[in-house]
Amino acid sequence: RGPRDIRGDTNGNSKPEKTEDAIVDMAEQSLLNKLIRKSLVRNRNQVEVLQQDPTSPLYSVKTFEELRLKPELLKGVYNLGFNRPSRIQENALPMMLAQPTQNLIAQAQSGTGKTAAFSLAMLSHVNPGNKWTQCLCVSPTYELALQIGQVIEQMGEFCPDVKLAYGIRGNRPERGVKLQEQIVIGTPGTVLDWCTKYKLIDPKKITMFVLDEADVMIATQGHRDQSLRIHRQLTKDCQMLLFSATFEDSVWRFAEQVVPDPNIIRLKREEETLDTIKQFYVICREKEDKFTSLCNLYGCLTVAQAMIFCHTRKMAAWLVSNLIAEGHQVSLLSGQLTVEQRAAVIERFRKGQEKVLVTTNVCSRGIDVEQVSLVVNFDLPVDMAGNADNETYLHRIGRTGRFGRRGFAVNMVDSKHSMDIINQIEMHFNRSITKLDTSNLEEME
Ligand code: ADP
């Protein structure tokens, strides 16, 4: 088996270039995921492991004790409420802690325990007696770097001699005086300056380099180049660890540049299916008519919880103000909100404080709200060319796992074109979408 075997799920198709907006969105999305995620995502797939040396035994651990961590570090791990290693941690941790050191490329969706894994590896790796920087971790944005730092600080709570510095904009330690912090976490630009221009870090003394969110990183040319420039300063004995939520070919090519002789760990995300979803469409004339249909559905919407998708911010705002005017309680997840505000809206919805959430596509990606039993496509998902966006459709209404909850999807059809889209979606998934009469809702029962 060559390394390629566990790589792409891309079938060789490369995705179109990402726009600048989409890039900002990737980093924001990732931050949002971190803010709203309080626990591991469920993923019952097998972890795929490809060892650099296939003859060496494959270690995996079921407990943190087996890792023989310093007691104060183990205490930090338990203090975070972690009982046992996550799926990828079972394999990744022994590899990252092995002697002699091994390099690692790991890919798994967000929420699978990657950050916790490399935070643990860094804390375990450093020698607290040595007052210089030994671990360097780069992350695509200021906010993401802070998030990682928080994890390290919490996990290292009982390791008072291990210190952490943030290589992020606004932080300007004295030029030419070497940092004493054993771990530096930051964004590529500042970290590069700290290594080269300001000489705060001696890159030759770095023995562990972590590159997080490689997919987000390389989406920005500048970040990609800066990461490579930092990497070039390091010695070849430095342990290299690279993490990514997705793995398109471009990420692989980058990973191969940064991580020589890697072990590779990969956990595929669980497939989403429409098997447990009943799909309907409603014929409407224009948006006011869609609105009326939605109001007729409202009783059904609030039985459990519902998400309503609109194509534009403007439409979402229009819909929300009209629903509120009708006396309905709804909340709006909009791209105009800051990431923190979005996280708060999602949190309230999760707790059931709001039953109905109106949103656009951009905001909703990556949100998996278990209790949503009804999804309304107020506008159908279309791609740039106006064709059915099957992937987004599946993502909005699909469920993971064979025993995923049952759900309903209602699609608003307001033109011949949108009826065509429904037909395209039906054909694509080979599942029928049934006509629904919202003035007579017996079919929904
Ligand atoms: P990723 O970096 O893959 O997005 P994180 O490391 O941020 O994943 O972990 C996702 C969530 O799961 C976080 O809230 C984290 O505290 C928690 N978590 C991580 N590892 C464990 C574990 N072994 N046991 C319980 N919770 C964990």
SS3 category, 417: helix
Backbone angles phi, psi at 171, to 5 degrees: -90, 115
Task: Output the pLDDT for position 368.
Answer: 63
Rounded-to-integer distance, Cα 208 and Cα 213, Å: 16
Does the CB atom of residue 116 touch ligand 1 within 6 A? yes
Residue with the smallest CA separation from ligand 1 atom 17 is 39
DSSP state of 406: P
Q: Which atom of ligand 1 is nearest to the CA of 83?
A: 24
Residue with the smallest CA separation from ligand 1 atom 26 is 82
Q: How far is the CA of 224 from the centre of ligand 1 (A)?
A: 26
Element (H, E) at 307: strand 305-310
- Contact between 438 and 301 under an 8 Å Cβ cutoff? The reply is no
Task: Output the pLDDT for position 10.
Answer: 40
Residue with the smallest CA separation from ligand 1 atom 6 is 113
Element (H, E) at 372: strand 372-377
Element (H, E) at 258: helix 249-258
- In this prediction, the residues of the chain whose per-residue pLDDT falls under 70 are 1-24, 362-370, 400-404, 440-445
- Contact between 264 and 214 under an 8 Å Cβ cutoff? The reply is no
Q: How far is the CA of 193 from the centre of ligand 1 (A)?
A: 31
Output the CA–CA distances (angstroms, integers) from residue 170 to 99, 153, 178, 187, in the order listed. 37, 20, 18, 12
Angle, alpha carbons 102-104-109 (nearest 5°): 155
Q: How far is the CA of 318 from the centre of ligand 1 (A)?
A: 38
In 3D space, the residue among 204, 150, 205, 216 whose CA is nearest the CA of residue 182 turns out to be 205
pLDDT in tens, 401-422: 555 677 889 999 999 999 999 9
DSSP string of 34-76, one letter each residue: HHH--SPPP--SPEEEE-SSTTS-----SSSGGG---HHHHHH
Rounded-to-integer distance, Cα 206 and Cα 135, Å: 6
- Contact between 105 and 260 under an 8 Å Cβ cutoff? The reply is no
Does the CB atom of residue 82 touch ligand 1 within 6 A? yes
Does the CB atom of residue 4 touch ligand 1 within 6 A? no
Output the CA–CA distances (angstroms, integers) from residue 206 to 133, 141, 155, 233, in the order listed. 7, 21, 21, 10
Does the CB atom of residue 35 touch ligand 1 within 6 A? no
Does the CB atom of residue 39 touch ligand 1 within 6 A? yes
Q: How far is the CA of 67 from the centre of ligand 1 (A)?
A: 18
- Contact between 241 and 211 under an 8 Å Cβ cutoff? The reply is yes
SS3 category, 30: helix
Does the CB atom of residue 246 touch ligand 1 within 6 A? no
Task: Output the pLDDT for position 12.
Answer: 36
Task: Output the pLDDT for position 169.
Answer: 92
Task: Output the pLDDT for position 406.
Answer: 79
Does the CB atom of residue 85 touch ligand 1 within 6 A? yes
Residue with the smallest CA separation from ligand 1 atom 15 is 39
Output the CA–CA distances (angstroms, integers) from residue 339 to 32, 267, 333, 369, in the order listed. 6, 27, 10, 17
Q: Which atom of ligand 1 is nearest to the CA of 38?
A: 14
Q: How far is the CA of 179 from the centre of ligand 1 (A)?
A: 29
Q: Which atom of ligand 1 is nearest to the CA of 84?
A: 23
Output the CA–CA distances (angstroms, integers) from residue 33 to 109, 184, 343, in the order listed. 11, 23, 8
Mutate to test the pocket of ligand 1, among 33, 37, 69, 87 (most ligand atoms within 8 A of CB): 37
Task: Output the pLDDT for position 384.
Answer: 87
Rounded-to-integer distance, Cα 48 and Cα 45, Å: 9
Q: How far is the CA of 114 from the centre of ligand 1 (A)?
A: 7
Does the CB atom of residue 113 touch ligand 1 within 6 A? yes
Q: Is the ipTM of this complex over 0.95?
A: yes
Mutate to test the pocket of ligand 1, among 62, 67, 86, 212 (most ligand atoms within 8 A of CB): 86
Q: How far is the CA of 142 from the centre of ligand 1 (A)?
A: 20
**Partners of residue 48 on adjacent β-strands:** 266
Rounded-to-integer distance, Cα 406 and Cα 398, Å: 10
Rounded-to-integer distance, Cα 276 and Cα 401, Å: 10
Task: Output the pLDDT for position 1.
Answer: 35
Tell me the two tokens of residue 361. Answer: 């596509």
Element (H, E) at 321: helix 313-325
